[in-house]
Structure 1
Amino acid sequence: MVTQVLFAAKEERWTEYQAPLTRALREVGVEANLGTDLPNEDVEYIVYAPNSSVQDFSVFPKLKAVLNLWAGVETVAPNKTLKAPLARMVDHGLTQGMIEWVTGHVMRHHLGMDAHIINPDRNWPAGAPPLAEQRSVTILGLGALGAACAQMLTQIGFPVNGWSRMQKDIEGVGCYSGDAGLKAALDGADIVVLLLPDTPATENVMNGESLGWLAQGATIINPGRGPLIDDDALLVALDSGQVGHATLDVFRIEPLPQDHSFWAHPNVTVTPHIASETRTWTASQCVAENVRRGEAGEPFLHLVDRSVGY
């Protein structure tokens, strides 16, 4: 039997994915008819980007699974027409890219690199930075990306705490969960990395109160989701010195509007949503494996719990 796989994403993504996805399906032994314009009544799997024109899943009577090309599923999970399983993207390329970006920015702030790189007055500041073991890092979100970043930072020597909705157990990481655990995880943190999903429960998790729990002059690094931060509260904390610097890769509106206060603030670094992205080949391997599992009657990988939104 030939498996019918619809690719539903922007046209330029099809150009990028057609060859690697065809190859990946072949390598896992799936004979597939892969295309962007299949009859609705034949479609069994949808390789999906949330910005696709496909928004009504009820028109696919044989649909077995929707396989998301993005790590984020916050705009897909609430779709009431979707009854089939939804899998999010968790692939090596995405994880490794996030590890590298987070580690780079943590080290930038830990070592105080800006004072040497941006030094128009040619100052000769004295003193070395503390060792990693003297600088605490907290990661909010201990899913695949957060756990991988936490493990890397512990290897460098940072004491790392993490917080998640459900209790986790990660070697070398202090794991907290629940409402009470959030304050314990953030209390006195020098650097905070945000890798939570965007859900009603996580919106504005960093607000006026929680920013006050951090060490004076703490650094915020957000490669997760824009709504995790109350923008106005962060600006107040930056102006008061409670937060020393914020490196932000994601925002409530993207691209970040030209008149937004983050652009001009001297203690904010804006990066254009580049912390990590899916690589076509590794992402194609993940999609193909889930199609193979579906056809073999095996459990899908990385299924979304749609009751919580991720």
Structure 2
Amino acid sequence: MFYLHFGDEREEDYWLKCFKQQAPELRVVTAKDKVDFEKVHWAGVWNPKPNFFKSFPNLQGVFALSAGVDALVSREDIPNNLPIMRLLDAGMAQQMIDYLLWVTLTLQGDFDLYIARQKQKIWQAEPSKSLDKPRIGILGLGELGIKVAQKFAELGYSVKGWKRTAVSLQGVEVLVGDEGFSNLLKQTDLLVNLLPNTQATAGILNKQNLEKLPQGASLVNIGRGQQLVDSDLISLLDSKHLRLAVLDVFKTEPLPLEPVAHPFWTHPQVLITPHIAAYTLPELAVEQVVDNLKRLAQGEKPLGLVDLALGY
């Protein structure tokens, strides 16, 4: 029996439909059903409440219904020997590429400047510019980061990526280690954060690191809000060391309005989006879950198995 927990009944209904289409033999239940929890062997979840997993004494594995698993690996109600499987890509990479194309074209066309001038009622065109494209640096070359990096390389951008371990990617210079991290920052006009949320990456987007970016560089954060030191970013924007920050993830979501509105809401050099850079597409996600269930049934190693020591 597979227990599906999405937290939104409207979403659950569509996920159930996808499971029925792709694995009609699999019994999938939700909180709306009368469930014998002892018969549940697998759970697919999206941000379950504390102690959620204590109800399942015979659980054999957990499927994260998103690419991020930081909310699961730190839980005390999941036994250390219980496998956690994350989605590798469920339509998310293409959405991220589209999102980042919007950002890069905004910078190349100076549209961020024109948006600001419209608010100030200023009619002023930028001088003619060259055809040079911004140098893109990507922090995090996992399943999604690799696809993003390779696509931008195909489009003619100079792309560098930073990863924990070395890997060879066509058209992409991959840097590793502390020295590689610093070198990437120094040669990047548009920094894209796609790092997983771990103890090692918490607060990595701080003043000490971000000020290594060239004057006029910009930042896109579609990783996790905990990786950005908000006050440091604002300081670098105010000093004009950084040109623009496009933020899709935040420490607190929704971005606070009370008791005092977060300064990102009104900062002229910040564009915010409500965690929409990449949605999980149910059809593709269910396809991965069903494939992994078959692998597990055959004694094979599942795809997307989380390394609990690394946190992803």
Normalised by the length of structure 2, the TM-score is: 0.90
CA deviation map 1:124-167 (0-9, x unaligned): 333034322xx211000101111111111111111111112222
> Which residue of the partner structure matches residue 108 of structure 1?
106
> Which residue of the partner structure matches residue 305 of structure 2?
303
Q: What is the deviation of 1:9?
A: 2.4
Matched, 1:7 2:4: yes
Distance in 2, Cα, partners of 1:300 & 1:61: 22
Check whether the contact 1:246–1:267 (CA below 8 A) recurs between aligned residues: yes
Where in structure 2 are the equivalents of 1:212-291 lying within 5 Å? 212-258=211-257, 259-291=261-293
Which residue identity is paired with 1:5?
Answer: F
Report the aligned-residue RMSD. Answer: 1.8
Which residue identity is paired with 2:274?
Answer: P
Structure 2 gap ranges (5+): none
Q: What is the deviation of 1:57?
A: 3.3
Q: What is the deviation of 1:183?
A: 0.6
Distance 1:168 1:42, change over 3 A: same
Distance 1:201 1:287, change over 3 A: same
Check whether the contact 2:245–2:270 (CA below 8 A) recurs between aligned residues: yes
CA deviation map 1:51-75 (0-9, x unaligned): x247353553432221110111111
Which residue identity is paired with 1:157?
Answer: G
Where in structure 2 are the equivalents of 1:175-186 lying within 5 Å? 175-186=174-185
Check whether the contact 1:112–1:129 (CA below 8 A) recurs between aligned residues: no
Q: Residue 106 of structure 2: SS of its match in structure 1?
A: helix
**Which residue among 27, 31, 52 is the counterpart of 1:33?**
27
Distance in 1, Cα, partners of 2:58 & 2:125: 68
Normalised by the length of structure 1, the TM-score is: 0.91
> Which stretch of the first structure deviates more once superposed, 254-263 or 60-69?
60-69
Distance 1:285 1:228, change over 3 A: same
Structure 1 gap ranges (5+): none
> Which residue of the partner structure matches residue 43 of structure 1?
40
Q: What is the deviation of 1:8?
A: 2.1
Check whether the contact 1:9–1:53 (CA below 8 A) recurs between aligned residues: no
Check whether the contact 1:99–1:145 (CA below 8 A) recurs between aligned residues: no
Q: What is the deviation of 1:10?
A: 1.1
Q: What is the deviation of 1:191?
A: 0.6
Distance in 2, Cα, partners of 1:243 & 1:224: 19
Distance in 1, Cα, partners of 2:166 & 2:256: 37
Matched, 1:64 2:60: yes
Which residue identity is paired with 2:242?
Answer: V
CA deviation map 1:80-104 (0-9, x unaligned): 4333210112234122111211222
Distance in 1, Cα, partners of 2:215 & 2:263: 22
Distance in 2, Cα, partners of 1:56 & 1:6: 12
Which residue identity is paired with 1:261?
Answer: P
> Which residue of the partner structure matches residue 69 of structure 2?
73
Distance 1:74 1:101, change over 3 A: same
Which residue identity is paired with 1:283?
Answer: A
Distance in 1, Cα, partners of 2:95 & 2:289: 19
Distance in 1, Cα, partners of 2:62 & 2:307: 13
> Which residue of the partner structure matches residue 96 of structure 2?
98
Distance in 2, Cα, partners of 1:243 & 1:125: 18
Check whether the contact 1:70–1:88 (CA below 8 A) recurs between aligned residues: yes
Check whether the contact 1:70–1:278 (CA below 8 A) recurs between aligned residues: yes
> Which residue of the partner structure matches residue 124 of structure 1?
125
Distance 1:54 1:35, change over 3 A: farther
Distance 1:124 1:183, change over 3 A: closer
Distance in 1, Cα, partners of 2:227 & 2:100: 17
CA deviation map 1:217-275 (0-9, x unaligned): 10001111111111111111001111111011111011111211111111111111110
